[in-house]
Amino acid sequence: LNKIFTEVLALGLSSNFLQVYSAIIQEEIFCPPETAVILAAYACQAKFGDAYDVNDPVPPVKELLPKSIIDNHTLSIHDWETRISRWHLKLHDVSFLDSIVEYLDIAQDVELYGASIFEVETKSGSRKWISLDAVGLNIYESKRPHKLTKEELAEIERLLTELELELPHRATGFEYAPWQVKDHQRQAKALEVKLNLSIPSTEETRKMLRRVADIIVFLGQVGLD
């Protein structure tokens, strides 16, 4: 009975894994580059099992990463392969089932995972994308890569600075309520999405992304307390 249950569970998870994997590669779900590399490593572990050397084995990068990530960054195909391989090497002895479970678990934290996306037109005629999920509602100028204007960058800088100033370690004796942590996590991830959709990537946007990453990590630790 346990064997049958395990097989049924594996079949269901495999189907879910393939759906999410396909959605990320086809960019139906937006995924930041760093997360995409980790997911690619788990996909390799699920498909090939243990790796014993860098680039052993790695399928074509286009089968592992969304096209926009490959096109919008200066890394070569070999660089991407090496990054994925290094993560793959760390997954030694992780089983097929554990690999896809971890893949799905990580994918759940991607900004637009499990969200319904709607395109709307404002009174001014501009197009916007609305993502609606269990956490709340977010509005994006576009879910397609585009060059951020000076005004957009200035607005992101303003929001990022405000978010940094509200972090608990900047306010002695202040405690976050759970809803505040989630709200700030949502704000940080929304900024991450906007910055990752910026093409071409610049030193300014990369610095902002590092600041956002620090905020997300910090808030994740706060949420565990």
- pLDDT, residue 169, reads 52
For residues 193 and 94, the model is more confident at 94
From 123-127, 170-174, 199-203, the region with the lowest mean pLDDT: 170-174
**What pLDDT score was predicted for residue 205?**
87
Say what percent of the chain tops pLDDT 70.
68
| Cα-only R_g, the chain | 19
Please tell me the pTM assigned to this model: 0.52
Note the pLDDT tens digit of each residue in 170-197: 444 556 667 677 778 778 877 887 787 6
Q: Is the pLDDT reported for residue 1 higher than 50?
A: no
Two tokens, residue 144: 């397609």
pLDDT digits (tens, 9 = 90+) for 129-171: 555 444 455 555 555 556 778 888 898 899 899 888 877 554 4
Cβ-based neighbour number of residue 135 at 10 Å: 14
